[in-house]
């Protein structure tokens, strides 16, 4: 009976994907907003070009495949900083917390914000600047739940609130993520994952910034009237990820993981690629990946991220406990990831993770 439940859950997810995702449509490129939903602040998965849909776990799973959020020991906390497009002055800040509920469930929270720095205010009359500055505020908060069935299939769902604003304009909406991971093999070394991300409402800006005064003639005594201009709605950056991974266990101290991933974007071209991750005694981890986007050879539509990514982790145990049930004990991890970009100097991610 349990096996049938597994298949039903996976089938429901696939059906949802089929109905809601419009795959790789370059004609719709530029029509959606909230691009920050596709920006990855976490260092580990950034070093794999965000393609570890099948084996991502803990807090970082809330950005890629929420089904992996329950694959933690007991508690996990993660903080991360990223320099987005070196030289642009834009940075990403993120915090996440995941907590086991019982033996098989976990609830997780993630918060991400963009820092654009101080931007000078300019007007038609003062194109060189008025002397004042402003800073846009892009924030999204996600809360997800994941559950593991007999350590083989995990499913998860996440709700995310999105807000974009400046001093006199703002837009808010919500999005839903769903995902599933399947683990098999003698040492749980073969994994499959599917995730559907950013399916939800639309964004529309409103506020005092959309109000302007117009002169209304009325005989010899014209007067001014405040009119709110209508702004257009725009959709979210929905996408479908399908990935797989395989762990080669090379003795007691070495692990080599090979990953592959396919991404279908509703508002841009499809992407696919692969990567490897090498772990020495699960203390030092080195990773690298290559991702290709269909149509990337066309200069006019060249994507931001295509090509190489890499990174490493240093994981230090907080106690002398041996591995239990295939899980590493309490530890602190320093993570770094780098992704090449088609413009500027690439994106650097640095993170600190605590597993308890």
pLDDT at residue 322, rounded to an integer:
47
Q: Give the angle 17-202-296 at the CA atoms, nearest 5°.
A: 60
CATH of the domain at 46: 2.40.160.60
Instruction: Please indicate, yes or no, if residue 87 is contained in any of the structural domains.
Output: yes
Instruction: Please indicate, yes or no, if residue 230 is contained in any of the structural domains.
Output: no
Overall domain count for the chain: 1
The tokens of 4 are what? Answer: 């049938």
- Distance in angstroms (rounded) separating the CA atoms of residues 16 and 212: 43
DSSP 46: H
Per residue of the chain (356 residues), give pLDDT as tens: 455 555 455 555 555 544 444 445 566 666 788 899 999 999 999 999 999 999 999 999 999 999 999 999 999 999 999 999 998 889 999 999 999 999 899 999 999 999 998 888 888 888 888 888 888 999 999 999 999 988 789 999 999 999 999 888 899 999 999 999 999 988 889 999 999 999 988 998 888 877 777 777 766 667 777 777 788 888 999 999 999 999 999 988 999 999 999 999 888 888 999 999 999 999 999 999 999 988 766 655 667 888 899 999 999 988 765 444 444 568 999 999 999 998 888 999 999 999 98
The tokens of 327 are what? Answer: 């899980």
| The dihedral sign for the CA sequence 275, 281, 282, 286 | negative
Question: What 3-state class would DSSP assign to 104?
Answer: coil
Instruction: Please indicate, yes or no, if residue 335 is contained in any of the structural domains.
Output: yes
The tokens of 177 are what? Answer: 């993520």
Instruction: Please indicate, yes or no, if residue 75 is contained in any of the structural domains.
Output: yes
Instruction: Please indicate, yes or no, if residue 221 is contained in any of the structural domains.
Output: no
Phi, psi of 62 (to 5 degrees): -70, -15
Instruction: Please indicate, yes or no, if residue 217 is contained in any of the structural domains.
Output: no
Can you give the residue range of the structural domain that contains 243? 2-198+239-355
Environment class of residue 145 by beta-carbon count within 10 Å: exposed (0-12), middle (13-18) or buried (19+)?
middle
pLDDT at residue 15, rounded to an integer:
55
- Distance in angstroms (rounded) separating the CA atoms of residues 263 and 195: 10
pLDDT at residue 325, rounded to an integer:
44
- Distance in angstroms (rounded) separating the CA atoms of residues 260 and 242: 9
Selection from 287, 280, 281, 276 nearest residue 247 by Cα: 276
Instruction: Please indicate, yes or no, if residue 215 is contained in any of the structural domains.
Output: no
Cα-based distances in Å from 147 to 111, 142, 155, 239: 21, 17, 6, 22
Q: What is the 3-state secondary structure (H, E, C) of 256-298?
A: EEEEEEEEEECCCCCEEEEEEEEEECCCEEEEEEEEEECCCCC
Instruction: Please indicate, yes or no, if residue 184 is contained in any of the structural domains.
Output: yes
DSSP 231: -
Report the Cα–Cα distance between both ends of the chain, in Å, rounded: 34
- Widest CA span in the chain: 93
pLDDT at residue 226, rounded to an integer:
76
- Distance in angstroms (rounded) separating the CA atoms of residues 176 and 158: 6
């Amino acid at each position: 009976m349990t096996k049938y439940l597994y298949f039903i859950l996976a089938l429901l997810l696939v059906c949802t994907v089929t109905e809601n995702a419009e795959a790789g449509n370059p004609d719709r490129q530029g029509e959606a907003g909230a691009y920050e939903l596709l920006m990855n602040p976490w260092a580990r998965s950034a070093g794999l070009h965000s393609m570890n849909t099948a084996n991502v776990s803990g807090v970082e799973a809330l950005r890629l495949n929420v089904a992996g959020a329950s694959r933690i020991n007991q508690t996990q906390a993660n903080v991360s900083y990223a320099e987005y497009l070196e030289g642009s002055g834009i940075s990403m800040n993120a915090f996440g917390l995941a907590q086991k509920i019982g033996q098989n469930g976990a609830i997780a929270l993630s918060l991400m914000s963009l820092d654009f720095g101080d931007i000078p205010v300019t007007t038609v009359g003062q194109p060189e600047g008025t002397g004042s500055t402003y800073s846009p505020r892009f924030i999204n908060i996600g809360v997800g739940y994941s559950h593991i069935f007999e350590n083989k299939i995990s499913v998860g769902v996440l709700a995310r609130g999105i807000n974009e604003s400046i001093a006199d304009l703002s837009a808010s909406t919500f999005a839903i993520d769903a995902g599933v991971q399947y683990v098999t093999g003698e040492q749980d070394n073969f994994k499959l994952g599917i995730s559907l991300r950013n399916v939800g409402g639309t964004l529309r800006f409103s506020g005092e910034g959309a109000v302007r005064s117009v002169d209304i003639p009325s005989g010899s005594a014209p007067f001014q009237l405040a009119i709110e201009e209508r702004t257009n709605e725009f959709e979210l950056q929905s996408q479908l990820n399908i990935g797989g991974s395989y762990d080669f266990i090379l003795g007691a101290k070495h692990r080599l993981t090979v990953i592959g991933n396919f991404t279908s974007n509703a508002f841009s071209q499809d992407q696919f690629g692969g990567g490897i991750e090498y772990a020495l005694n699960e203390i030092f981890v080195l990773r690298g990946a290559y991702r290709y986007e269909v149509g990337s050879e066309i200069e006019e539509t060249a994507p931001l991220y295509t090509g190489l990514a890499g990174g490493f982790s240093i994981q230090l145990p907080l106690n002398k406990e041996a591995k239990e049930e295939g899980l590493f004990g309490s530890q602190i991890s320093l993570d770094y990831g780098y992704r090449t970009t088609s413009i500027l100097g690439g994106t650097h991610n640095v993170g600190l993770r605590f597993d308890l």
